[in-house]
Amino acid sequence: MPDADAHDVHAPYGPLPDGGTPRAVTRWGTPVMHRAQQQVTAYDEALRTLAADMVATMYAAEGVGLAACQIGEDVAMFVFDCPDDDGRHTVGVVCNPVLTLPEGADRQLDDDDEGCLSFPGAFEPCARPDRARVEGFGLDGEPVAFEGDGLLARCLQHETDHTIGTVFGDRLSAKSRKRLTKEHDEAAEDFPLTWPLDVETSS
Ligand SMILES: [Zn+2]
């Protein structure tokens, strides 16, 4: 059970699947991360097991979201546990996500820092709409929809991007991507290729 006192958790479709095994996080440059993932067609036990491993990996890496391709699986699905502007955490699993972003006068860009577990140790500002809505399917094959602002809006966009083979570095200018790469390279020692397995947390 989530600890209700730790933070205000919003789980409209139930808690995240637990009992998974953390895996090493797949890095940018691995082919599966740079092409659209296979759509989910079977909502079976194997899918649930994969989602549980994704949740375990996300928490081990102290991330707020993780897509299946980030543990090397060619499946259009992501999991998240992410706060919005009010600090409220929303948790969920989305298969075959489709994003809707504000348009016209409702479209406001937010230029906050962004990072990716698959390019660890580096952050750069990335302009994205400050609200987002994603629709897809839960592990039971039933429709789900999530909407939010703040980091949650950024997370829903970032993770849906992963399922179509886009990483946030693709959205940066050449100059910004160069800074990001330098920061990532300088942090390489802290993130061996087995990360987050067998890594002691220093905090
Ligand atoms: Zn990412």
This prediction has a pTM of 0.94
Q: Which two tokens stand for residue 88?
A: 């409220």
Cα–Cα distances (Å) from 100 to 65, 150, 156, in that order, read 18, 15, 10
194: in domain: no
**Is 163 within a domain?**
yes
Q: 143 preceded by cis ω (within 30°)? A: no
In the reported structure, the alpha carbon of residue 116 is separated from the centroid of ligand 1 by a whole-number distance in angstroms of 4
Please report whether residue 13 resides in a domain: yes
119 found inside a domain: yes
Span from the CA of 167 to the centroid of ligand 1 (angstroms): 6
Centroid of ligand 1 to alpha carbon of 118 (angstroms): 6
Task: State residue 198's pLDDT score.
Answer: 76
- C-alpha 27 – ligand 1 centre gap (Å): 9
| Domain span at 163 | 9-187
Whether 169 is covered by a domain: the verdict is yes
In a domain, 199, yes or no: no
Contact 46, 39 (CB under 8 A): no
**Tens digit of each residue's pLDDT, the chain (203 residues):** 444 445 679 999 999 999 999 999 999 999 999 999 999 999 999 999 999 999 999 999 999 999 999 999 999 999 999 999 999 999 999 999 999 999 998 999 999 999 999 999 999 999 999 999 999 999 999 999 999 999 999 999 999 999 999 999 999 999 999 999 999 999 999 999 999 997 655 54
Distance 33 CA to ligand 1 centre (A): 9
Is residue 183 part of the annotated active site? The answer reads no
Q: Catalytic pick from 73, 114, 124, 159?
A: 159
Per-residue pLDDT, 1? 46
Domain count, the chain: 1
> The domain that contains 131 carries what CATH number?
3.90.45.10
Q: Does residue 14 lie in a domain region?
A: yes
User: Could you please report the per-residue DSSP string of the chain?
Assistant: ---TTTS-EE-TT-PPP-S----PPPPTTSGGGGSPPPPP---SHHHHHHHHHHHHHHHHTT-SEEEGGGGT----EEEEEEE-TTS-EEEEEEEEEEEE---GGG--EE--EE--TTSTT--EE--EESEEEEEEE-TTS-EEEEEEEHHHHHHHHHHHHHHTT--GGGGS-HHHHHHHHHHHHHTGGGS-TTTTTT-----
Q: Is residue 201 part of a domain?
A: no
Q: Which residues surround ligand 1, an ion (CB under 5 A)?
A: 116
- Report the candidate in 171, 132, 135 with the shortest Cα–Cα distance to residue 155: 132
- The Å distance, Cα 120 to ligand 1 centre, comes to 9
